[in-house]
Amino acid sequence: IAYPAQWDDYAGLEIKPDDPLGNILRARTYRYRRNLAKIGKPIDKTEWPVPVTATNAYYDSVQNAITVPAALLQPPFFDPKADDGTNLGSLGAVVAHELAHAIDEEGAKYDAEGRRRDWWTAEDYWQFRQRASCFIEQYKRAAAQHGNGLVNAREQDAFLTAGEIIADNIGLKVALLALQAEETTGSSPGAPAAGAINGLTPEQRFFTAFARMWCEAGDRATGGSDVHPPAEYRVKGVLQNFPEFREAFACAQEDKPTANACTMW
C-alpha cells in the first residue's frame, strides 16, 4: 500500500536539463538494461509492478497480492475525512475489483502460492461462463445501439473486456456489502456518522462516488486493444445491474431494466 519497501535506484541515470526527449530515452534504456540484468536471478517479490504515481490498483496472480499506489490514496478515490459510503464507493470498489481477478477465469490458473495450477472444476468453469455470458451480451447490445458511451465501440470488444466488466460488477457489489455491514455494526473509527450529508443518503453517496471515479475527457473508443470498457460504460453498464441503485435514487418503475440485469451470484 502507498509505496514499495525499496525505491528504484536511478543513481547511474544521466539527466540533462536541456534534453527532455533524451532524458526519456535514457531512462527507458536504463530500465530496460536493469530488467535484462534480472534474468537468471531470484524473483524480487518486493518489487512493484506499477509506479506510486499510477491511479490504478493492480492484482498480481503470481504473488497473489494487490498493489495500491499512493496516487489512489487521495480524492476522488480516498479521503480520510470522508464518510464510509464515499470511500467504499470509490477506493473500496477499486480494491474489491482487484480481488475479483483472483477468483475469475484468469485467477483460476494460479493457486494461493502463485503456482500455475488450475484449481477450478469443470462445473466451476461452466457456471462462471454461463453467468459471464450475460455481461457479454449486455455489452454487445450497448455497442450495437451506440449507447452508454460506446460511440466507437465494437460488439466484438465484449469478449476482450469481459473480465474487467465482471470485476467492476463484483467490485461494486462487494463494496456495497461492506457498506451495508458498516451500517449494521457502526462506521469506521474517525469516519463521519452515517446519515444524510449534503442531502445525500449513505447509499446515494456510495453510488455517486463510484460514478465520479470514472469522470474523464477523452476518446470513448476502446481502440480494439484496451481490455477495459469505456469509462461511461463502467458506470452505466454496472449500475444497470444494481436494484440498490434504483432504490437509492427512487427511480421510476419504467426505469428498472430488471429483465436484462446480470449478476455473478
Residues annotated as catalytic are: 98, 168
Tell me the residue ranges of DSSP E strands in 14-107: 58-60, 65-67
* Residue position matching grid coordinates 527507458: 28
185-189: which pairs have CB atoms within 8 A and are 24 or more residues apart? 187/83, 187/84, 188/84
Q: How far apart are CA 2 and CA 51, in angstroms?
A: 10
Q: How many helices (H) and strands (E) does the chain have?
A: 8, 2
Q: Judge if the upstream peptide bond of residue 202 is cis by omega within 30 degrees of 0.
A: no
CA distances to 19, 70, 238, 247 from 256, in Å: 57, 38, 13, 10
C-alpha cell at 6: 525499496
Beta bridge pairs of residue 53: none
- CA separation for the pair 116, 110 (Å, rounded): 5
Nearest 5°: the CA angle 83, 1, 55 is 75
Angle formed by the axes of helices 157-185 and 122-144, nearest 10° = 110
Please say whether the beta carbons of 205 and 86 come within 8 A: yes
User: What is the C-alpha separation between 238 and 245, in angstroms, rounded?
Assistant: 10
